């Protein structure tokens, strides 16, 4: 009887604590925190959305929704994509995200994610102004926002001064 009462008390106490937070155990951990090179499901599950954010995400209907982007527009011929970024987004270090961070991150993503070449070829993002980036390609970019929002190698935005390429090459 005492054992049953003790087990019941532990269950009640643990259920009560679960109202404030949720603990989830996972069987592995990401091999690297660099989401531009990491394609593992566990890394995306743990890091994307909790640690890193992207310009776009897919909503519950599978449509592209802006996250760090304020808005985006596709040219009439579908070969140029311009993206305006949100104001006053802060990174973990307190620095405000700017267009240089977005260009660095997106071009690094293109360099590491081979499938992106099918969309953009050798094209890279450039700044239009302090809040807008653009990429122009030989092919249609109509589906490119979906790729950015959903790809296994996440197009996360990181501070340009982290110099991930230099750190990883050492």
Backbone angles phi, psi at 81, to 5 degrees: -120, 120
Residue 140 has what pLDDT? 94
The H or E element spanning position 38 is none
Whole-angstrom distance, CA of residue 124 vs CA of residue 133: 10
Residue 42 has what pLDDT? 78
pTM: 0.78
- Are 131 and 72 within 8 A, CB to CB? no
Could you tell me which of 125, 84, 88 has the C-alpha nearest to residue 104? 125
Residue 74 has what pLDDT? 97
Q: Which tens digits make up the pLDDT trace of 35-81? A: 777 777 777 777 777 778 999 999 999 999 999 999 999 999 999 99
């Amino acid at each position: 009887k005492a054992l049953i009462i003790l087990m019941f008390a532990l269950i009640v106490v643990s259920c009560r604590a679960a109202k404030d937070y949720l603990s989830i155990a996972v069987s592995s951990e990401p091999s690297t925190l660099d989401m531009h090179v990491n394609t593992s499901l566990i890394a995306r599950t743990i890091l994307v959305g909790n640690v890193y954010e992207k310009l776009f995400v897919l909503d519950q209907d599978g449509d592209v929704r802006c996250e760090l982007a304020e808005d985006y527009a596709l040219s009439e011929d579908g070969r140029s994509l311009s993206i305006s970024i949100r104001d006053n987004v802060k990174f973990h270090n307190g620095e405000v995200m700017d267009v240089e961070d977005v260009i660095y991150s997106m071009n690094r993503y293109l360099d590491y994610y081979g499938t992106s070449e099918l969309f953009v070829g050798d094209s890279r993002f450039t700044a239009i102004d302090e809040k807008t980036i653009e990429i122009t390609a030989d092919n249609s970019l109509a589906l490119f926002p979906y790729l950015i929002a959903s790809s296994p190698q996440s197009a996360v935005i990181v501070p340009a001064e982290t110099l991930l390429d230099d750190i990883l090459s050492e």
